[in-house]
A = this chain, B = another copy of it.
Amino acid sequence: MTFNSFNPPQRILMGPGPSDVSARVLSALARPTVGHLDPLFINMMDEVKTLLQFAFQTKNEFTIALSAPGSAGMEACFVNLVEAGDKVIVCRNGVFGDRMIQNVNRIGAEAVVVDSPWARAVETHKVKAALHDHPDAKFLAFVHAETSTGAVSDAKALCKMAQEHDCLTIVDAVTSLGGVELKVDEWGIDAIYSGTQKCMSCVPGISPLSFSPKAVAVVQNRKTQIQSWFLDQTLVMGYWSGEGKRSYHHTAPVNSLYALHEALVMLHDEGLENSWARHKEQHEVLAKGLKELGIEFIVPEEERLPQLNAIYIPEGADDAKIREYLLEHYNLEIGAGLGAFAGKAWRIGLMGHAAKSENVALCLTALKDALSQ
List the B side residues contacting A130 at CB < 8 Å: none
Of the candidates B35, B204, B229, B248, the one whose C-beta lies within 8 Å of that of A254 is B204
Q: Evaluate contact between B250 and A70: CB separation under 8 angstroms.
A: yes
Measured CA separation A62–B38 after assembly (Å)? 36
Please pick, from B99, B205, B227, the residue contacting A106 in the complex, using a CB distance under 8 A. Answer: B227
- State how many angstroms separate the Cβ of A79 from the closest Cβ of chain B: 8
The residue from B38, B47, B72 contacting A333, defined by CB atoms under 8 A apart: B38
User: Roughly how many angstroms separate A103 CA and B47 CA in the complex, as a whole number?
Assistant: 32
Per the bound structure, the CA–CA distance linking A226 and B26 in Å amounts to: 36
- Cα–Cα distance between A18 and B35 once the two chains are bound (Å): 6
The minimal Cβ–Cβ distance linking A33 to chain B, given in whole angstroms, is: 4
A170 to chain B, nearest CB (A): 14
List B contacts of A107 (CB < 8 A). Answer: 227
Among B9, B34, B256, B333, point to the contact of A253 (Cβ < 8 A).
B256
B residues near A361, Cβ cutoff 8 Å: none
Given the known inter-chain contacts A71-B230, A103-B229, A251-B70, please indicate yes or no for A203 contacting B6, CB distance below 8 A.
Answer: no
A44: CB under 8 A from chain B? yes
Closest Cβ–Cβ distance, residue A11 to chain B (whole Å): 5
Within 8 A of B (CB), among A94-149: 99, 102-103, 105-107
- Tell whether, in the assembled complex, residue A8 and residue B228 are in contact, meaning their CB atoms are under 8 Å apart: no
- Which of B6, B18, B41, B229 meets A44, CB within 8 Å? B6
Best-surrounded residue of A9, A17, A32, A71 (most CB of chain B within 10 A): A32
- Chain B residues within an 8 Å CB radius of A228: 75, 79, 106, 227-228
Contacts of A67 in B (CB 8 A): 68-69, 205
Interface string of A51-84 (1 = CB under 8 A from B): 1000000000000000111111011000100000
Count of chain copies: 2
Residues on B with beta carbons closer than 8 Å to the beta carbon of A5: 24, 28, 261-262, 265
Indicate with 1 or 0, residue by residue over A311-338, a CB within 8 angstroms of chain B CB atoms.
0000000000000000100000100001
Q: How far is the CA of A221 from the CA of B113 in the complex (A)?
A: 29
Residues of B within 8 Å of A99, CB to CB, are: 229
Given contacts A13-B35, A21-B33, A68-B230, 14 further A-B contacts (CB under 8 A): A5-B261, A8-B32, A11-B33, A11-B35, A18-B33, A27-B30, A29-B29, A34-B333, A69-B251, A70-B251, A72-B250, A74-B229, A99-B229, A230-B231
Chain A residues in the interface with B (C-beta under 8 A): 1, 3-11, 13, 15, 17-18, 20-21, 24, 26-36, 38-41, 44, 47, 50-51, 67-72, 74-75, 79, 99, 102-103, 105-107, 195, 197, 203-205, 225-231, 248-256, 258-259, 261-262, 264-265, 268-269, 327, 333, 338
Going nearest first, the 8 A-B pairs with the smallest beta carbon separation are A205-B253, A30-B30, A68-B68, A71-B250, A204-B251, A203-B255, A21-B33, A26-B30
